[in-house]
């Protein structure tokens, strides 16, 4: 479902030298598989997620999602592809404050080129236990509720892959498990593969497959 | 969810800033509406006021503009008068072959109604019976209509009719009496009473703001007759008659008409028999060696006045209002641009959700267009509301009738113009949105 081959990414330092961030010979996630990605701070986990989502371009290599090499796609096609096939859950929940819970979910549907499916958006919110909070804006929702909206939004377009970037980093331990359970249940229910970045050993221990970025990444800066 | 809805929600999220920038746009547009409509209504009014006759003939001492302003618009100090015998040339003398109608005006008296002062025009009933005051859209003449009463009787020297604005503002109605004041000052001597026998329907001309007295009665008032020539009998002034001496059975109080040799007229409205008449009369009057009088075509003078004075003022006002709108546009730019850093995260989230660069750019442009459009529509309504509210006051003081629904076709260009303008001012913040570095904002460079 997701496969990376010879993916390289580097940034130019202020002194003009290139700093290699990613150098991944191979990495893959199967359909419906849930994988945890760990690594120390600054080792390139978020950069990797951004590269997989097509938000950051790679220097070379191949990133294939559902058989489509997103590196080769034009930016507009990549955006459209991301809207359709990749869901994103962020560290901070990143709900748009001007929109209600329902609209935040519908917003995720707005960029696919098709009409937003209000019924599906309502169902998704109902599935995460927020059927009674559809018209509430983020400011009126608790932290846990906001993250549930974020999960519903990520699944709005029935993606093939869900990228979760430390979704429990900013929540108290009491809510951590709820969020992880929610993500796993939702991915199981929707048959979505998940790549979850976390620092938390407690979270990582719950997953069958845990990858450490430093082990799959040969970049000099990481080594 | 459409870009417009997303833009609308973003706008609502920053409601105070959006409202203030929209308000500044509304004020700019309202000012522009006022300038456009007031100018055009004024021009139309000025041009209408000078319709219905070909020439105005008045004293040669003074400018043509002064002659037109005093005769047509009842503004300014009247020119030095011309002999009555000159007027007779139009009715039975050398100018008669070219003249269809000649209506004399005697100016110089006024009437104080409340805190407003109105001109009293002494004339003949022909003004309302034979001269139109403009043209209908089908080209037919607009003739005066009496809302109440009738025209004054030629043989009833102390009858008068009043314009619609005068009637409304002073409360004068049929049967009422009024005393004209000698001169244009409220402190002038009061003349003998005239009886109102008719109230004119609204014409939209300066005549709405005037009182029209029978010229025969006017001549019988103090200070309105020339010194009698040797052997001539001095006329009896109506003002000198005590009430007891009035012959109440006689509408003219027993007075005889003033001899023509003791009469003068301030100006004459001349309607010619054919299209050559104005040219011939213009030459005969203005090229006369003695130059007793001058003849002017009011249309030409009004056009010159509008082009010479009103036109440049309008251009200055238009430039100012355009500058105000530009400033309002810049405030929209600054407002949205300043908010870009705080909303860069939202933009990055939308990009992560699949929004293309051009989509987020379009959302910002849509927001700019929405603020401008809503401000513009509010400005149009505000401008017309001001027209409607200020209309009666402006009309009372200037005779220019402004109404809420006075609409100028140029206003319809404002909306597409604002869309283009908003797109321009929104371009810079939209470009910032376009260039948002999603990777950096969503979790740092690594």
At B230-257, the pLDDT tens digits run 666 666 677 766 555 666 677 777 788 8
Statement to judge: residues B289 and B344 lie in one domain: no
Confidence of residue B397 (pLDDT cuts 50, 70, 90): low
B114 in any annotated domain: yes
Share above pLDDT 70 across residues of chain B, in percent, rounded to a whole number: 93
**Is residue B446 a contact partner of residue A21, using CB atoms and an 8 Å limit?**
yes
The more confident residue out of A189 and B43 is A189
**Is residue B272 a contact partner of residue B54, using CB atoms and an 8 Å limit?**
yes
Residue A156 has which token pair?
A: 């709005």
Four-residue CA torsion sign, B355, B359, B364, B366: negative
B265 in any annotated domain: yes
* Contact criterion met (CB < 8 Å) for B438 and A55: yes
Of B350, B354, B443, nearest to A112 by CB-CB distance is B354
Kind of pairing between the strands at B181-182 and B146-149: unpaired
Q: Which of B296, B318, B342 is the last residue of a domain?
A: B296
Q: Which residues of B touch A109 (CB under 8 A)?
A: 1
Mean pLDDT of chain A: 87
The mean-pLDDT minimum among B42-56, B154-168, B238-252 falls in: B238-252
Statement to judge: residues B313 and B254 lie in one domain: no
What's the rounded Cα separation, in Å, for the pair A38 and A172? 20
Outline where B220-293 has alpha helix (H): 277-286
What's the rounded Cα separation, in Å, for the pair A135 and A100? 5
For residue A222, pLDDT over 70 is answered with no
Residue A180 has which token pair?
A: 């992880």
A100 in any annotated domain: yes
Confidence of residue B434 (pLDDT cuts 50, 70, 90): confident
Highest mean pLDDT range out of A18-22, A44-48, A59-63, A79-83? A59-63
* Contact criterion met (CB < 8 Å) for A84 and B354: yes
For residue A220, pLDDT over 70 is answered with no
As a whole number of Å, the end-to-end CA separation of chain B is: 32
For residue B445, pLDDT over 60 is answered with no
Backbone angles phi, psi at B88, to 5 degrees: -65, -25
Please state the rounded mean pLDDT for residues A65-72.
Answer: 92
Statement to judge: residues B287 and B321 lie in one domain: no
**pLDDT at residue B245 in the model:** 60
Statement to judge: residues B71 and B152 lie in one domain: yes
Domain of residue A108, CATH code? 3.40.50.300
Mean pLDDT of chain B: 86
- E strand or H helix that includes residue B65: helix B64-72
Find, among B226, B253, B222, B74, the residue nearest to B156 by Cα.
B253
Statement to judge: residues B97 and B227 lie in one domain: yes
Please state the rounded mean pLDDT for residues B136-163.
Answer: 90
B203 in any annotated domain: yes
**pLDDT at residue A52 in the model:** 93
> For residues B155-177, b (16+ Cβ closer than 10 Å) or e, as one string?
ebbbbbbbbbbbbbbbebebebe
Q: For residue B193, what are the domain limits?
A: 55-296
The more confident residue out of B251 and B172 is B172
3 state SS for B177-238: EECCEECCCCCCCECCCEEEEEEECCCCCHHHHEEEEEHHHHHCCCCCCCCCCCCCCCCCCH
* Contact criterion met (CB < 8 Å) for A90 and B351: no
B50 in any annotated domain: no
C-alpha distance from A94 to closest chain B C-alpha (Å) = 7
Q: Map tokens 């970045």 to a residue.
A: A197
Q: Map tokens 């592809």 to a residue.
A: A81
Kind of pairing between the strands at A34-38 and B194-200: unpaired
Statement to judge: residues B128 and B213 lie in one domain: yes
A54 in any annotated domain: yes
Burial of B274 by CB count in 10 Å (0-12 exposed, 13-18 middle, 19+ buried)? exposed
Q: Which residues of B touch A112 (CB under 8 A)?
A: 354
C-alpha distance from B356 to closest chain A C-alpha (Å) = 5
Cα–Cα distances (Å) from A50 to A89, A170, A184, in that order, read: 12, 20, 21
Q: For residue A212, what are the domain limits?
A: 2-216
Four-residue CA torsion sign, B315, B317, B321, B324: positive
3 state SS for B306-332: HHHHHHHHHHHHHHHHHHHHHHHHHHH
**pLDDT at residue B243 in the model:** 58
Confidence of residue B42 (pLDDT cuts 50, 70, 90): confident
Q: Which of B239, B269, B296 is the last residue of a domain?
A: B296
Mutation site for B-interface testing, chosen from A22, A86, A99, A139 by largest number of B Cβ within 10 Å: A99
What's the rounded Cα separation, in Å, for the pair A123 and A190? 12
Statement to judge: residues B84 and B33 lie in one domain: no
Q: Which residues of B touch A54 (CB under 8 A)?
A: none
A223 in any annotated domain: no
Residue A106 has which token pair?
A: 């519908």
Q: Is B433 touching A (CB cutoff 8 A)?
A: no
Give the number of beta-carbon pairs within 8 Å between A and B. 94
Cα–Cα distances (Å) from A201 to A178, A182, A187, A204, B223, in that order, read: 16, 18, 21, 5, 113
The more confident residue out of A204 and B204 is A204
Q: Which of B296, B317, B335 is the last residue of a domain?
A: B296
Statement to judge: residues B71 and B220 lie in one domain: yes
How many structural domains comprise chain A?
A: 1
How many structural domains comprise chain B?
A: 2
Q: Is A66 touching B (CB cutoff 8 A)?
A: no
The model's pLDDT over A131-184, given as tens digits with 9 standing for 90+, comes to 899 999 999 998 888 888 988 998 888 899 999 988 887 777 777 888 888 889
**pLDDT at residue B236 in the model:** 67
Statement to judge: residues B222 and B246 lie in one domain: yes
What's the rounded Cα separation, in Å, for the pair A208 and A205? 8
Of A88, A91, A103, nearest to B352 by CB-CB distance is A88
Q: DSSP characters for chain A?
A: -EEEEEEEEEEE-TTS-EEEEEEEEEEEE-TT-EEEEE--TTSSHHHHHHHHHTSS--SEEEEEETTEEGGGS-HHHHHHHHHHHEEEE-SS----TTS-HHHHHHHHHTTSSS---HHHHHHHHHHTT-TT-TT--GGGS-HHHHHHHHHHHHTTT--SEEEEESTTTTS-HHHHHHHHHHHHHHHHHHT-EEEEE---HHHHTTSSEEEEHHHH---TTT-
What's the rounded Cα separation, in Å, for the pair A7 and A59? 8
Planar angle of CA B19, B24, B30, nearest 5 degrees:
115
What's the rounded Cα separation, in Å, for the pair B68 and B104? 14
What's the rounded Cα separation, in Å, for the pair A182 and A188? 10
Statement to judge: residues B353 and B270 lie in one domain: no
Q: Cα Rg for chain A, rounded, in angstroms? A: 17
C-alpha distance from B8 to closest chain A C-alpha (Å) = 9
**pLDDT at residue B446 in the model:** 40
Q: Is A94 touching B (CB cutoff 8 A)?
A: yes
For residue A221, pLDDT over 60 is answered with no
* Contact criterion met (CB < 8 Å) for A111 and B355: yes
**Is residue B396 a contact partner of residue B165, using CB atoms and an 8 Å limit?**
yes
Confidence of residue B414 (pLDDT cuts 50, 70, 90): confident
Query: Chain A: residue nearest B347 by CA?
Result: A96
Statement to judge: residues B292 and B223 lie in one domain: yes
Statement to judge: residues B350 and B321 lie in one domain: yes
Put simply, the chain A residues between 137 and 156 with a CB less than 8 A from any chain B CB are: 153
B446 in any annotated domain: no
A102 in any annotated domain: yes
**Is residue A204 a contact partner of residue A198, using CB atoms and an 8 Å limit?**
yes
Conformational region of residue A128, where left means phi above 0, alpha means psi within -120 to 50, and beta covers everything else: alpha
What's the rounded Cα separation, in Å, for the pair B307 and B312? 7
For residue B56, pLDDT over 70 is answered with yes
B274 in any annotated domain: yes
Residue A76 has which token pair?
A: 């507009």
Q: Is the ipTM of this complex over 0.90?
A: no
For residue B401, pLDDT over 50 is answered with yes
């Amino acid at each position: 479902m997701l496969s990376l081959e010879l993916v390289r990414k580097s940034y130019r330092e202020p002194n003009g030298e290139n700093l290699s961030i990613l150098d991944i010979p191979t990495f893959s996630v199967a359909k419906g598989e849930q994988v945890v990605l760990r690594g120390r701070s600054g080792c390139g986990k978020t950069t990797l997620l951004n590269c997989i989502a097509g938000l950051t371009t790679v220097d070379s290599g191949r990133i294939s999602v559902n058989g489509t090499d997103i590196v080769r796609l034009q930016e507009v096609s990549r955006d459209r592809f991301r809207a359709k096939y990749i869901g994103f859950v962020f560290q901070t929940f990143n709900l748009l404050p001007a929109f209600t819970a329902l609209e935040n979910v519908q917003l995720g549907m707005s960029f696919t080129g098709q009409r937003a499916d209000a019924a599906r958006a309502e169902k998704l919110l109902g599935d995460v236990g927020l059927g009674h909070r559809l018209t509430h804006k983020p400011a009126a929702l608790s932290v846990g509720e906001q993250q549930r909206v974020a999960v519903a939004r990520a699944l709005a377009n029935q993606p093939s892959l869900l990228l979760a970037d430390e979704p429990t980093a900013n929540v108290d331990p009491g809510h951590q498990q709820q969020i992880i359970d929610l993500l796993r249940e939702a991915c199981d229910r929707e048959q979505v593969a998940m790549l979850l970045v976390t620092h938390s050993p407690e979270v990582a221990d719950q997953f069958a497959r845990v990858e450490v970025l430093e082990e799959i990444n040969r970049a000099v800066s990481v080594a | 969810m459409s870009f417009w809805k997303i833009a609308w929600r973003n706008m609502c999220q920053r409601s105070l800033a959006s409202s203030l920038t929209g308000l500044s746009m509304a004020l700019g547009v309202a000012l522009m509406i006022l300038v456009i409509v007031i100018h055009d209504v004024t021009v139309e009014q000025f041009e209408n006021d000078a319709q219905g006759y070909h020439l105005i003939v008045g004293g040669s001492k003074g400018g043509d503009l002064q002659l037109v302003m005093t005769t047509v618009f009842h503004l300014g100090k009247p020119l030095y008068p011309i002999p009555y015998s000159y007027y007779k040339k139009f009715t039975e003398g050398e100018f008669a072959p070219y003249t269809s109608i000649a209506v004399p005006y005697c100016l110089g008296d006024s009437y104080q109604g409340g805190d407003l002062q109105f001109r009293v025009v002494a004339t003949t009933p022909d003004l309302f019976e034979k001269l139109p005051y403009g043209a209908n859209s089908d080209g037919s003449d607009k003739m005066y209509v009496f809302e109440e009463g009738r025209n004054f009787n030629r043989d009833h020297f102390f009858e008068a009719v009043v314009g619609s604005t005068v009637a409304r503002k002073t409360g004068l109605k049929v049967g009422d009496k009024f005393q004209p004041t000698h001169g244009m000052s409220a402190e002038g001597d009061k003349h003998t009473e005239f009886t109102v026998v008719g109230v004119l329907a609204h014409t939209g001309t300066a005549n709405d703001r005037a009182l029209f007295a029978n010229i025969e009665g006017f001549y019988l008032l103090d200070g309105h007759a020339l010194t009698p020539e040797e052997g001539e009998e001095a006329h009896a002034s109506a003002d000198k008659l005590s009430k007891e001496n009035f012959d109440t059975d006689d509408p003219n109080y027993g007075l005889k008409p003033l001899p023509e040799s003791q009469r003068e007229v301030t100006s004459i409205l001349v309607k010619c028999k054919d299209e050559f008449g104005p040219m011939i009369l213009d030459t005969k009057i203005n090229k006369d060696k003695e130059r007793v009088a001058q003849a002017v075509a009011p249309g030409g003078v009004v056009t010159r006045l509008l082009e010479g004075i009103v036109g440049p003022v309008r251009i200055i006002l238009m430039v100012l209002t355009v500058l105000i709108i530009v400033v309002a546009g810049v405030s929209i730019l600054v407002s949205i641009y300043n908010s870009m850093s705080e909303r860069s995260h939202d933009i990055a989230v939308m990009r992560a959700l699949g929004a293309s660069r051009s989509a987020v750019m379009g959302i910002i442009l849509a927001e700019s267009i929405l603020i401008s459009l809503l401000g513009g529509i509010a400005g149009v309504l505000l401008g017309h509301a001001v027209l409607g509210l200020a209309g009666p006051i402006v009309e009372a003081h200037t005779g220019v009738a402004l109404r809420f629904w006075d609409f100028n076709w140029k206003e319809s260009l404002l909306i597409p113009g604002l869309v283009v303008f908003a797109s321009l001012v929104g371009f810079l913040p939209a470009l910032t949105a376009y260039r948002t570095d999603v990777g950096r904002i969503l979790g740092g460079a690594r």
